[in-house]
C-alpha cells in the first residue's frame, strides 16, 4: 500500500505538473547549459551546449566494471554517452530529469543513446530500464531511466521492457559509500522476470559511478537466463 505521504505528494505533483505544462506553453523552457532557448523544446540543451558535452571514453565503462570484484564478463558491451562531471552541464540535465520532475527530457536523450548504441552493436530484443524501488518511484512519480529506455527503444526499433527487472528490496542511497559498501548494498536488490530467458537485452541507466548497481542488475538477468546483455548509460561519472 502506498503511504498517505506518497499519495499526497503524488497529488501535489499532478497539480504542479498541470501548472508547469501551462507555463511551458507560455514560457518555453531554456537551455540548462547557457539559458538560450533550445531549437527543440523537447531537448534540455541548445545545439551548441549539446555539441560541447564531452563524449565518454570508448572503453571507460568496461574499465570501470573490471575494477569491481564481480564486474567482469557480465556485459557483452558497455558504454556511456557523455563524461559526467560534478557541477557540469550534464549534471544539470540529470538533476532536471531526476529531481526536478522533467521526465519528458528522458525520451529525446534516450534516442541519442540509442543512436550511439546502434553505431556499435546490433539492436537488442528489448531495452530494460534500471528499476527504482517502489517507494522511491512513488515519491518521484516516475523512473527517469524508464524514460531514457523508452527513447532508446524507439530509436532501436525494439520494445522497452520495464517489466523484466524489478527492485523489490529497498537499499540505502549509494552516495558516500565505498566501492565495497556499494556492492554489498545492491547485490541482492533485484529480481528478474522469467521472460528475460533467452533474450538479448540492453540495460539503460542515467549515470554510472562504480557500476555496482548495473552489475547487480545484470547478474540478476543472467542468472534468470538472459542470453546476452549490453549496458548503456547517459553519463560516466569522472573519478
Binding residues for Zn ion, per CB under 5 A? 31, 33-34, 36, 46, 49
Residues 6+ apart with CB under 8 A from 51: none
- Looking at the Cβ atoms of 53 and 202, the one nearer to Zn ion is 53
C-alpha cell at 100: 526536478
**49-58 — which CB contacts under 8 Å span 24+ positions?**
49/89, 52/89, 53/82, 53/83, 53/89, 53/90, 54/82, 54/83, 55/81, 55/82, 55/83, 56/80, 56/81, 56/82, 56/83, 56/84, 56/235, 56/236, 57/83, 57/236
Q: Residue holding cell 559498501? A: 181
- In angstroms, how far is the first alpha carbon of the chain from the final one? 39
* Minimum distance, C-beta of residue 115 to Zn ion, in the bound complex (Å): 20
* Minimum distance, C-beta of residue 17 to Zn ion, in the bound complex (Å): 25
C-alpha cell at 127: 531495452
- Looking at the Cβ atoms of 39 and 66, the one nearer to Zn ion is 39
* Minimum distance, C-beta of residue 159 to Zn ion, in the bound complex (Å): 33
Q: For residue 158, how many other CB atoms are within 10 A of its CB?
A: 18
- Looking at the Cβ atoms of 18 and 36, the one nearer to Zn ion is 36
- Looking at the Cβ atoms of 89 and 147, the one nearer to Zn ion is 89
- Looking at the Cβ atoms of 7 and 36, the one nearer to Zn ion is 36
Contact 32, 98 (CB under 8 A): no
* Minimum distance, C-beta of residue 106 to Zn ion, in the bound complex (Å): 19
- Looking at the Cβ atoms of 217 and 234, the one nearer to Zn ion is 234
* Minimum distance, C-beta of residue 35 to Zn ion, in the bound complex (Å): 7
Q: Residue holding cell 514560457? A: 27
* Minimum distance, C-beta of residue 234 to Zn ion, in the bound complex (Å): 17
Amino acid at each position: 500500500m502506498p503511504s498517505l505521504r506518497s499519495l499526497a505528494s503524488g497529488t501535489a505533483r499532478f497539480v504542479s505538473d498541470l501548472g508547469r505544462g501551462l507555463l511551458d506553453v507560455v514560457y518555453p523552457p531554456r537551455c540548462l547549459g547557457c539559458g538560450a532557448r533550445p531549437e527543440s523544446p523537447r531537448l534540455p540543451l541548445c545545439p551548441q551546449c549539446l555539441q560541447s558535452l564531452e563524449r565518454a571514453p570508448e572503453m571507460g565503462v568496461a574499465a570501470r566494471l573490471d575494477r569491481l570484484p564481480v564486474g567482469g564478463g557480465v556485459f557483452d558491451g558497455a558504454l556511456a554517452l557523455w563524461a559526467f562531471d560534478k557541477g557540469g552541464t550534464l549534471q544539470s540535465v540529470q538533476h532536471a530529469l531526476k529531481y526536478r520532475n522533467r521526465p519528458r527530457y528522458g525520451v529525446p536523450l534516450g534516442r541519442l543513446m540509442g543512436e550511439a548504441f546502434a553505431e556499435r552493436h546490433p539492436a537488442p530484443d528489448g531495452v530494460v530500464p534500471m528499476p527504482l524501488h517502489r517507494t522511491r518511484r512513488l515519491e518521484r512519480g516516475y523512473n527517469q531511466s524508464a524514460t531514457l529506455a523508452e527513447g532508446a527503444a524507439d530509436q532501436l526499433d525494439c520494445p522497452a521492457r520495464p517489466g523484466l527487472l524489478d527492485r523489490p528490496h529497498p537499499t540505502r542511497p549509494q552516495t558516500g559509500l565505498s566501492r565495497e559498501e556499494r556492492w554489498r548494498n545492491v547485490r541482492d536488490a533485484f529480481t528478474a522476470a522469467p521472460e528475460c530467458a533467452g533474450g538479448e537485452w540492453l540495460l539503460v541507466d542515467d549515470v554510472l559511478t562504480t557500476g555496482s548497481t548495473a552489475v547487480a542488475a545484470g547478474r540478476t538477468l543472467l542468472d534468470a537466463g538472459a542470453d546476452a546483455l549490453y549496458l548503456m548509460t547517459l553519463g560516466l561519472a569522472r573519478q
